[in-house]
Structure 1
């Protein structure tokens, strides 16, 4: 096992965090879902090695508390034996119905995978802090509007087809909009923003980027030479002045209408409109019945205060 995480870090399975009631681990399954059999096995492991309470975070991860150094190692071994692959690295999150919601504008999973791969290729995993995150929202029945992230990409319908609205530092209502872009350019803008954050240190977030850096990111689509370069070969970006491209230092970033320009460059060449939030299915609370593709239905439930005894979860999964 690795050294215990400090408070404020993400308590991954390999780096549990010390809390008042023992060690805490957090699991985010790669598949985004678990079979009833896997969930039962994990809950039984939580009963054996933790305090018997399982929690679901606002971002859909599972937490197990009350572990010791020895029992945390046993839990990790049992998770491996259950063949539950868990995500590591920078969180790139999609919604709970991603790819199976007939009302979403676009399946966000392919773009999320491209961003994860680009982050790895650019060597950013160790350079970014544990709380830095990315949201990719297909904008269906359950949007990701309430989840705060350093970089947000939300699917939007335009006359030119599906585009991704890229914004930084906030939730679906208050994040700073940068541009509409196709999937490839949206990925590049997202990774460029993360490189800027990494240059400021592991305590930094997108909210720490300067106005000049934000303007530079917003002008990404104008810089065709950089747009065509993979993120791994982009120049290191200095927080003090090494932005992408060259803009007047006094320029103020605003939310442009489609077709407006910054200097001589168009922020977004797409037809349509830039609304306060990306248009998609009507977002609702994640409780109740949700129609899915293939005549299936998802049932959303809420755990009291986000937690439930593991034996109750076992009983629920058995029905």
Structure 2
């Protein structure tokens, strides 16, 4: 078998990719970017088997609805070959070199709702537009100059949508006189920011292409993200240059803002737009799964669903296309595989990074501490984020409560506060995990008891 030149291109400071293995304390990391967060049952089986055969068998769901394999050793070439053979790499035919393939893989950062095309409340089906955007990202070499972190979100008005993750460009569906439009904003998110303007849906692809081209024209090499450019070029000036180039006709939408649904809609059973069908959501405990779990879920998707799995930005899973009468069976099977199907389970609402067990920057074993915290919060599930360092790799948004590691087993506690930068308002310093659990439990009681 011929050696892939990029299979050995280990860059300690780089983001992982399918063709670029990045080292960690527990071995190499390979990130598999999923178009729209969707993976077929056959592809999921391939990931499970390759992870077991060529790595430590540890698989993670990421907060951008992707998968990554940890613990990769000397068998990285066979792992990459297998993933490419399963159709999990960039799809453009115009990639004559592995370097271009790696660049095309890097920029596949388009996040959709996990329920795109099936959500009962969606305004538009975003999948056709997403397919065009992904084709341009992969197929146009100019866009390969974008940072591997440069990210786009496309929201079709679904009830189930992550609206708090910041993106370099976000688009959100709305209706104006019963005509579909896409409101859009730069370097922010629909949950907290007003849109810059809106364009008719049919101009959505042209808008994305124009924004990316203008960004690349204006940004200096060190300005890798939209927020860096906007520090020098105000958003209104960027919009004016965008309009001057032609091809799009944006309109003002005033103070319109995307409304978020209430509740943890990524957990549990919900009706689809299609009659008599439901999707079932379940959480991977702390975003971790193993090969047996993934193979089991793949089999369930084929037996009871439509043969696909949808990953979510909550590091969880959606099984679509299940008949209403089979929903209970699907949930039971998922629980037997080790997933969490109830939102009131404390571990279903706790997120944690890899921590010191697998990351050199981690100051505490966040996964083990999170499991301990879940036992302390039994009966009063809360949204808590444990971060091993300031980078906040496990959460792209600010959680209601954040435990920031200071040393093994010790954390500073923050509560989300819109008036405070970063994690929010510092509540207490250097807490043990038991002390943090007691404080969180007390706060939960004070906010719910009369």
Mark yes or no: TM-score above 0.5: yes
Residue 218 of structure 1: aligned partner = 239
Distance change (3 Å), C-alpha of 1:145 and 1:163: same
- The match for 1:66 among 61, 64, 71 is 71
Per chain length, whose mean CA-contact separation is higher, i.e. which structure has more relative contact order (CA < 8 Å, sep 6+)?
1
Offset at 1:53?
0.9
Deviation at 1:152, TM superposition (A): 0.2
Query: Does 2:208 correspond to 1:190?
Result: yes
Q: Does 1:139 align with 2:122?
A: no
1:13 equivalent in alignment to 2:34: no
> How much does 1:100 deviate?
2.0
Contact 2:163–2:260, Cα closer than 8 Å, also in 1: no
CA–CA separation in structure 2 for the residues paired with 1:119 and 1:83? 17
**3-state SS of paired residue (2:56):** coil
CA–CA distance in structure 2, aligned partners of residues 149 and 134 of structure 1: 6
Q: 2:170 aligns with which of 135, 147, 152?
A: 152
Say whether 1:227 aligns with 2:225: no
Asked if 1 retains the 8 angstrom alpha-carbon contact of 2:194 and 2:257, the reply is no
Higher helix proportion, which one?
A: 2
1:293 aligned residue (273, 298, 307): 273
User: What is the match of residue 228 of structure 2?
Assistant: 208
Q: 1:5 to 1:109 in 2, by over 3 A?
A: farther
1:154–1:166 Cα contact (<8 Å) kept? yes
Q: If the length of structure 2 is used for normalisation, what is the TM-score?
A: 0.55
Q: Give 1:275's aligned residue.
A: 256
Q: Output the CA distance in 2 between the equivalents of 1:54 and 1:187.
A: 33
Long gaps (5+) in structure 1: 230-265
**Are residues 32 and 85 of structure 1, via their aligned partners in 2, closer, same or farther at CA, if it must alter by over 3 Å?**
farther
Residue 62 of structure 1 and its aligned partner are, at CA, apart by 0.7
State the 1:37 CA deviation: 3.6
TM-score (norm 1): 0.76
Seen in structure 2, the aligned counterparts of structure 1 residues 21 and 313 have a Cα distance that, compared at 3 Å, is: same
- Native 8 Å contact 1:57 1:63 kept in 2: yes
Deviations along 1:249-271, one digit per CA (max 9) or x if unpaired, are xxxxxxxxxxxxxxxxx96266x
- Between the aligned partners of 1:310 and 1:189, the Cα distance in structure 2 is 40
- Contact 1:140–1:283, Cα closer than 8 Å, also in 2: no
| Partner residue in 1 for 2:124 | 106
How many residue pairs align between the two structures?
277
User: How many angstroms does 1:196 deviate by?
Assistant: 4.1
Deviations 1:274-314 (A, max 9, x none): 4232x586674311112223322111111111002222332
Closer, same or farther in 2 for the Cα pair 1:62/1:142, shift >3 Å?
Answer: same
Q: CA-atom RMSD, angstroms? A: 2.9
**1:38-77 Cα deviation digits (max 9, x unpaired):** 3223212111111111100011101101112x41211122
Distance in 2 separating the partners of 1:201 and 1:221: 20
What is residue 307 of structure 1 aligned with on the other side?
288
Partner of 1:238: none
- 1:260 equivalent in structure 2: none
Indicate the SS of the match to 1:79: helix
Alignment partner of 1:173 out of 162, 177, 191: 191
Q: Give 1:178 deviation, angstroms.
A: 1.3
Structure 1 residue 170, shift from structure 2 partner: 1.8
Distance 1:109 1:134, change over 3 A: same
Residue aligned with 2:196, SS = strand
Q: In 1, are the aligned partners of 2:168 and 2:225 still within 8 Å (CA)? A: yes
1:177 to 1:200, Cα distance in 2 relative to 1, 3 A: farther
Match for 1:45 among 27, 39, 50? 50
